[in-house]
Amino acid sequence: MLILLPPSEGKAEPEGGAPLDLGELVFAGDLDEKREALVDAFDPGLRKAPAAPAAEVYTGVLYQRLQLSDLPAPARRRAAKRILIASALWGFVRLEDRIPNYKLPPSTKLDGIGPLAAYWRPALAGAMPDEAGEVIVDMRSGAYAAAWKPRHADLLSVRAFREEKGERKAVSHMAKAVRGDVARALFLARREPKDAEEVAAVTGDAGFTVELTPTGLDVIVDS
C-alpha cells in the first residue's frame, strides 16, 4: 500500500534549521534537474531558507486530523514508509524530507516552465513506484493528481459524499478532514491493507460508511 497526500496551504515556518538540500529529497536522482530548474524559476532564495521535515511544515486540516505525532511508533514507521506528499514545487516528498516554507499553487504558470502538472508528468512517470497488484490510496486533489497517475498499480481515490433525499453529492469543505481520518485509520490497522477491498474493510471497521467503486473509495458523511 502507498498513500498519496496533497500538501497543505497552511504551513509552519521552519526556525533555525539547516537549508534545503535537494539531493536529500526522495527520488533525487530522477527529479534533481526538474527541481533545480523550478526553484530557479520560482524563488532561488529558497536554497538558503531554513528547512524542516515536511511532516512539520504541512499543517493543514488533513494533517491535523492525521495527527502523525500522536500515532503509535509502529504506525509512524509505516506512515514514513508509505506516504508520499504531492507538491507543485518538489514533485513528491516523504514525511521526513526537509523542505522550507513556500507557496506555489499547482495552477501557477512560470516563465520557461509552463503548467506545473505537465512540467512534472514525464519525470514522475519514470520515478514513481508503479507495480501491478499494488494499491495506491490517492488523497490528492485533482490539480495534483493531474501530474501523475499509475499505469499498472490500482489507484483508489478517496472521496467524500453526503446523501440528501436519496441523492449523493460531493462535499468539498469536509473532504480534507475525511481523508485525514481515513489515512489515520489505515495506519492504526493491525494489518496493513493489501488491496482495495481490504482498504475499504479497514475504513468501515473504523466507523466510516463506505462504498467501494471501480475508481474509488466513497466515504459517506452525515448531513
| Mean per-residue pLDDT, 138-167 | 93
pLDDT at position 53 over 80: yes
pTM of the model: 0.95
Q: What is the pLDDT of residues 85-136, one digit of tens each?
A: 999 999 999 999 999 999 999 999 999 999 999 999 999 999 999 999 999 9
Q: What percent of the chain has pLDDT over 90?
A: 91
Range of the domain at 74: 2-221
Give CA–CA dist 77/3, Å, rounded: 13
Binning pLDDT at 50, 70 and 90, where does residue 170 land? confident
Please enumerate, as own/partner, the contacts of 20-25 that have beta carbons within 8 Å and a separation of 24 or more.
20/46, 20/47, 20/49, 20/51, 20/98, 20/99, 20/100, 21/51, 21/98, 24/97, 24/98, 25/90, 25/93, 25/94, 25/97, 25/99
Q: What is the pLDDT of residues 18-51, one digit of tens each?
A: 999 999 999 999 999 999 999 999 999 999 999 9
pLDDT value for 46: 96
Binning pLDDT at 50, 70 and 90, where does residue 172 land? confident
pLDDT value for 223: 62
pLDDT at position 166 over 80: no
pLDDT value for 167: 83
pLDDT value for 192: 94
DSSP 106: T
Q: What is the domain count for the chain? A: 1
pLDDT value for 164: 81
